[in-house]
């Protein structure tokens, strides 16, 4: 089953990742769900698909009271990101879901009411979790046309959604990137095929390189730490995206 | 076959019950790790007391064995909770799907005829999942009873520690203090588990 692992702890302020499910069927892509906790309030970023709901829910419940989850953050509209929405709302109908204004009338097809959603404008917005300020950072066209990252300035963590994602083979699927050059081969195909705009990519790289980031956390694959964050941004800036269709 | 509709309300609350039970289990796991420390402290105190507290040392050693067994039993409870979450989530998903099928069925006779076999298969799945949830709860209650039986051993050990402390000579007061600590910890586990058993029986 999936396990929750804390990746940042500073008193009541914590980040945890729910990752690596050995029982997951191979036809489902592996996903990382991130939980941001600030005291008695928590936000779950990219809560995952309906099929992995029980594994995610169990992993979280083993360490954190799931009633503390008051907010969901959907980086974009994909089923592996947010199709579990109806089940989370079944559990707690008061949960609010942050998502791009582009998708605020699409994602309700997965569940929810008019009161469930908080639409993020294209330019991004601040999200408060108790006394903690988080930021929805625009990452449009990477890969979705309405796409956001979540930045925690205090923890210096950027949840980057599909940016930085890698499809890791067994044996090379550690939680953190340990050997950048070896790891990035598994990210290359994904970024070339899923990311469609070089202009959007360069714009993102320019903005994100100005942020103070200790950890860059993608929805698939491994987490980049320290110098590997800059290495990734430089690598991504140089990559020709929108070029992944096999001839 | 059990009426699917009549079970909806109780099945919808399964996830909430599981979460509540899991919070109690987590509390006991936290206290259990405390037992190990209390037992270690008791062993060290007994060692310092020398020959006169040989009996206390034996009890302390048994207490460490109890702590390990308790940890294993609680891990077993945690695994059962995972099964329950999985089945309760599956049930919720199936009810969502069923609701959509009922919407189709309500759109006239032709639709009703079309959807009937699908609905029947869905009801069969819901019934099966309901059975699995029932078995999960039963297993959870059985395992909880086993843990409570194990706790009886913890209770006996805490009583023995109090008796042995009396023979501790100069160290008697210190040993009594440790024995009281053991008693408090075991009692806290006991009362949390008993409360959990009552909740599960509701």
Record: contact B81-A65, CB cut-off 8 A? no
Of B78, B89, B96, the CB nearest to A57: B89
Q: How many domains does chain A have?
A: 1
Asked if pLDDT for residue A182 goes beyond 80, the answer is: yes
| Domain CATH for A28 | 3.60.15.10
Per-domain boundaries in chain B: 4-201
Contact A33, A56 (CB under 8 A): yes
Of B26, B81, B92, the CB nearest to A90: B92
Size of interface A-B (CB pairs under 8 A): 41
Of B23, B85, B93, the CB nearest to A57: B85
Q: CA B164, B165, B166: angle at the middle one, nearest 5?
A: 90
Domain of residue A195 covers 3-238
Asked if pLDDT for residue A186 goes beyond 60, the answer is: yes
- Selected residue of B20, B82, B88, B97 to mutate for chain A interface (largest A Cβ count, 10 A): B82
Question: Given this model, what pLDDT does residue B1 score?
Answer: 44
Structural domain contains residue A245: no
CATH code linked to domain B4-201: 1.10.287
Q: Any residues with CB less than 8 A from the CB of A199 and at least 6 apart, and which?
A: none
B82 at interface of A, judged by CB pairs closer than 8 A: yes
Buried b vs exposed e over B31-54: b needs ≥16 C-beta within 10 Å?
bbeebbebbeebbebbeebeebbe
Nearest CA in chain A to B15: A91
B85 at interface of A, judged by CB pairs closer than 8 A: yes
Question: Given this model, what pLDDT does residue B60 score?
Answer: 86
Structural domain contains residue A244: no
Q: Looking up tokens 């204004």, which residue turns up?
A: A101
Q: For B142-200, write each residue's pLDDT tens digit.
A: 999 999 999 898 889 888 888 888 887 777 888 888 888 888 888 888 899 998 888 88
Gyration radius (Cα) of chain B, Å: 25
Contact B33, B71 (CB under 8 A): yes
Question: Given this model, what pLDDT does residue B11 score?
Answer: 55
Contacts with A, B 37-56, CB within 8 Å = none
Helix (H, G, I), strand (E, B) or coil at B118: helix
Structural domain contains residue A243: no
- Interface predicted TM-score of the whole assembly (ipTM), two decimals: 0.72
Nearest CA in chain A to B17: A91
B90 at interface of A, judged by CB pairs closer than 8 A: yes
Measured distance CA(A111)–CA(B92) in Å, rounded: 13
Q: For B10-65, write each residue's pLDDT tens digit.
A: 555 788 888 888 988 888 888 888 888 888 888 888 888 777 788 888 888 888 89
Q: For A2-30, write each residue's pLDDT tens digit.
A: 899 999 999 999 999 999 888 788 888 89
Contact B139, B81 (CB under 8 A): no
């Amino acid at each position: 089953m999936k396990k929750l692992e804390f990746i940042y702890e500073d008193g009541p302020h914590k980040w945890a990742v729910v990752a690596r499910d050995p029982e997951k069927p191979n036809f489902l892509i592996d996903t990382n769900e991130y939980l941001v906790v600030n005291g008695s309030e928590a936000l779950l970023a990219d809560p995952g698909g309906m099929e992995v709901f029980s594994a995610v829910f169990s992993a979280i419940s083993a360490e954190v009271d799931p009633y503390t989850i008051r907010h969901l953050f959907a980086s974009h509209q994909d089923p592996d990101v947010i199709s579990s929405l109806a089940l989370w709302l079944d559990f707690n109908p008061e949960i609010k879901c942050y998502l791009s204004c582009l998708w605020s009338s699409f994602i309700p097809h997965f569940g929810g009411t008019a009161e469930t959603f908080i639409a993020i404008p294209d330019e991004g917005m601040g999200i408060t979790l108790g006394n903690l300020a988080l930021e929805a950072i625009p990452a449009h066209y990477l890969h979705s046309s309405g796409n956001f990252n979540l930045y925690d300035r205090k923890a210096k963590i950027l949840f980057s959604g599909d940016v930085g994602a890698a499809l890791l083979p067994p044996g090379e699927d550690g939680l953190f990137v340990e050997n950048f050059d070896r790891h990035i081969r598994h990210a290359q195909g994904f970024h070339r095929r899923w990311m469609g705009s070089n202009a959007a990519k360069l714009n993102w790289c320019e903005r994100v390189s100005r942020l103070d980031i200790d950890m860059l956390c993608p929805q698939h694959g491994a987490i980049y730490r320290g110098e590997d964050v800059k290495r990734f941004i430089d690598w991504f800036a140089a990559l020709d995206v929108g070029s992944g269709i096999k001839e | 076959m059990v009426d699917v509709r009549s079970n909806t309300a109780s099945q919808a609350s399964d996830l909430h019950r599981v979460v509540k039970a899991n919070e109690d289990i987590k509390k006991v796991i936290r206290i259990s790790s405390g037992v190990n420390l209390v037992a270690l402290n008791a062993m060290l105190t007994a060692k310092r007391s020398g020959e006169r507290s040989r009996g206390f040392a034996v009890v302390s050693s048994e207490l460490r064995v109890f702590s390990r067994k308790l940890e294993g039993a609680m891990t077993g409870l945690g695994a059962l909770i995972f099964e329950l979450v999985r089945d309760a989530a599956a049930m919720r998903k199936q009810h969502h799907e069923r609701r959509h099928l009922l919407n189709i069925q309500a759109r006239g006779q032709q639709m009703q005829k079309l959807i009937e076999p699908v609905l029947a298969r869905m009801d069969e799945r819901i019934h099966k999942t309901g059975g699995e949830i029932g078995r999960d709860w039963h297993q959870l209650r059985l395992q909880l009873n086993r843990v409570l039986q194990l706790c009886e051993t913890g209770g006996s050990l805490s009583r023995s520690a109090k008796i042995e402390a009396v023979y501790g000579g100069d160290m008697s007061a210190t040993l009594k203090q440790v024995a009281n600590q053991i008693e408090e910890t075991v009692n806290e586990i006991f009362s949390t588990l008993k409360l959990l058993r009552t909740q599960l029986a509701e």
